[in-house]
Amino acid sequence: MINSLSEFKVTSAQAKENPDTFWSEIASEFQWKSPWKQTLDFDFSKPEIKWFVGGKLNITENCLDRYIETQPNKTAILFEPNDPTETAQHISYKKLHKRVCQTANMLKANGAKKGDRICIYMPMVPELAIAVLACARIGAIHSVVFAGFSATALAARINDASCSMLLTADGGFRGSKTIALKEIADEALVSCSTVNCCLVLQRTQQEVQWNSTDKWWHEELEKVDDNCPVEVMDSEDPLFILYTSGSTGKPKGMVHTCGGYMVYTAYTFKNVFQCQPNDVYWCTADIGWITGHSYIVYGPLANGATSVMFEGVPSYPAFDRFWEVCAKHKITHFYTAPTAIRALEKHPTSLVEKHDLSSLKVLGSVGEPINAEAWHWYDEHVGKHNCPIVDTWWQTETGGILISSLAGVTPQKPTFATLPMPGVQAVLLNNEGDEIEGEGEGILAIKHPWPSIARTIWGDYERYKNVYFSAYPGYYFPGDGALRDAEGNYRITGRVDDVVIVSGHNLGTAPIENAINEHSEVVESAVVGFPHDIKGNALCAYVIVRDMGVDSSTIEKEIREEVAKTIGPIAKPDRILVVSGLPKTRSGKIMRRILRKLAAGEHDQLGDISTLLNPEIVEEIKRQNS
Interface ranges with ligand 7RM (CB under 6 A):
244, 289-291, 365-369, 391-396, 417, 478-480, 492, 495, 501, 506
Distance CA 410, CA 10 (A): 13
Host H or E run for residue 575? strand 575-579
Min dist. Cβ of residue 337 to ligand 7RM (A)? 8
Min dist. Cβ of residue 148 to ligand 7RM (A)? 14
Cis peptide before 317 (omega within 30 of 0): yes
Min dist. Cβ of residue 245 to ligand 7RM (A)? 9
Cβ contacts of 229 within 8 Å, gap of 6 or more: none
Cβ proximity to ligand 7RM: between 97 and 505 the closer is 505
- Burial (CB < 10 A; 0-12, 13-18, 19+), residue 207, is exposed
Cβ contacts of 480 within 8 Å, gap of 6 or more: 393, 443, 444, 492, 493, 494, 495, 496
Cβ proximity to ligand 7RM: between 480 and 562 the closer is 480
Cβ proximity to ligand 7RM: between 155 and 337 the closer is 337
How far, CA to CA in Å, does 126 sit from each of 131, 138, 308, 335, 344? 9, 19, 10, 19, 26
Cβ proximity to ligand 7RM: between 320 and 480 the closer is 480
Contact assessment for residue 68 and residue 76, using Cβ atoms and an 8 Å cutoff: no
Cβ proximity to ligand 7RM: between 105 and 245 the closer is 245
- Count CA atoms closer than 13 A to 439's CA, side-chain side: 3
Q: For residue 120, what are the β-bridge partners? A: 144, 167
* Nearest in space to 597 (alpha carbons), one of 531, 538, 503: 531
Cβ proximity to ligand 7RM: between 332 and 405 the closer is 405
b/e per residue 73-92 (b: at least 16 CB within 10 A): ebbbbbbbbbeeeeeeeebb
Distance CA 272, CA 563 (A): 37
Q: For residue 169, what are the β-bridge partners? A: 201
Cβ proximity to ligand 7RM: between 483 and 564 the closer is 483
Min dist. Cβ of residue 367 to ligand 7RM (A)? 4
Cβ proximity to ligand 7RM: between 30 and 416 the closer is 416
Cβ proximity to ligand 7RM: between 19 and 367 the closer is 367
Min dist. Cβ of residue 451 to ligand 7RM (A)? 17
Min dist. Cβ of residue 402 to ligand 7RM (A)? 9
Host H or E run for residue 339? helix 338-345
Distance CA 50, CA 236 (A): 7
Min dist. Cβ of residue 575 to ligand 7RM (A)? 22
Host H or E run for residue 183? helix 181-189
Cβ proximity to ligand 7RM: between 253 and 478 the closer is 478
Distance CA 266, CA 299 (A): 4
Cβ proximity to ligand 7RM: between 217 and 472 the closer is 472
Dihedral angle, C-alpha 204, 179, 176, 242, nearest 10 °? 110
Min dist. Cβ of residue 340 to ligand 7RM (A)? 13
- Residue/partner pairs of 83-88 with CB below 8 Å, 24 or more apart: 83/173, 83/312, 84/317, 84/321, 84/324, 88/328, 88/329
Min dist. Cβ of residue 448 to ligand 7RM (A)? 19
Min dist. Cβ of residue 166 to ligand 7RM (A)? 23
Min dist. Cβ of residue 398 to ligand 7RM (A)? 8
Min dist. Cβ of residue 29 to ligand 7RM (A)? 25
Distance CA 47, CA 338 (A): 34
Min dist. Cβ of residue 161 to ligand 7RM (A)? 18
Cβ proximity to ligand 7RM: between 235 and 294 the closer is 294
Distance CA 405, CA 418 (A): 6
Instruction: Give the relative orientation of helices 181-189 and 151-160 as an angle to the nearest 10 degrees.
Output: 50
Dihedral angle, C-alpha 374, 378, 381, 382, nearest 10 °? 150
Cβ proximity to ligand 7RM: between 245 and 525 the closer is 245
Residue 3 one-letter amino acid: N
**Region of residue 219 (phi > 0: left; psi between -120 and 50: alpha; otherwise: beta):** alpha
